[in-house]
Amino acid sequence: MSEAQRKPTTSEDAASIARGAGPFAAQSAQAWLSYQANLLAGLEAIATDWIKRQRDAFDAMQRAIEQMSQCRDPLELLKFQQELFSNCLSRAISDASAFGDRAFAIARDAKADIARAGRHSMARLDESAEDSRKGAEGKPMPRAAAE
């Protein structure tokens, strides 16, 4: 559009834009903070579960070492050693699987939250733009938009 075709922005238009931008910014900030809180809660759950599994692994390893130290038969010692390594490997796989599942759930929920916030924000912007157009065309603006 050329300068001649553009309508001059009035202080009323600027005030209307400012009233619409404040809640929009607040909603965006709230959505971001909510996302961060959910992310931290998810990471806390991952860390708590990991610490519990590490404690259980330590206890199991302690028991296995006690059994191996009391063992007098070399074949039985190898059996305990194989069980220890097998259990360690199983726990490592379980840890990786649990971490992957939790991380995926956090990412999935975050994506859904961000998409929902984006749709809500776009709807609010559309409403605000429609209210602005109605006000610019000389039609009465809704009371909520005029305040």
Do residues 46 and 99 make contact, with C-beta atoms less than 8 angstroms apart? yes
- Residue 100: inside a domain, yes or no? yes
The owner of tokens 């922005």 is 9
pLDDT above 90 coverage of the chain, percent: 7
- Residue 143: inside a domain, yes or no? no
- H helices then E strands: how many in the chain? 3, 0
- Residue 80: inside a domain, yes or no? yes
Residue 147: partners with Cβ closer than 8 Å, 6 or more residues away: 19
What is the tens place of the pLDDT at every residue in 5-62? 555 455 665 556 556 666 767 777 787 788 788 888 888 988 898 899 899 989 988 9
Residue 112's domain comprises 17-123
- Residue 57: inside a domain, yes or no? yes
Query: Between 110 and 86, whose confidence is greater?
Result: 86
- Residue 8: inside a domain, yes or no? no
- Residue 43: inside a domain, yes or no? yes
- Residue 11: inside a domain, yes or no? no
Q: What is the mean pLDDT of the chain?
A: 77
Give this prediction's pTM.
0.54
- Residue 72: inside a domain, yes or no? yes
Q: How many domains does the chain have?
A: 1
Does the pLDDT at position 4 exceed 50?
no
Query: Between 123 and 89, whose confidence is greater?
Result: 89
Write out the two tokens for 58: 């330590």
DSSP 8-state code for residue 142: P
Supply the pLDDT for residue 140. 52
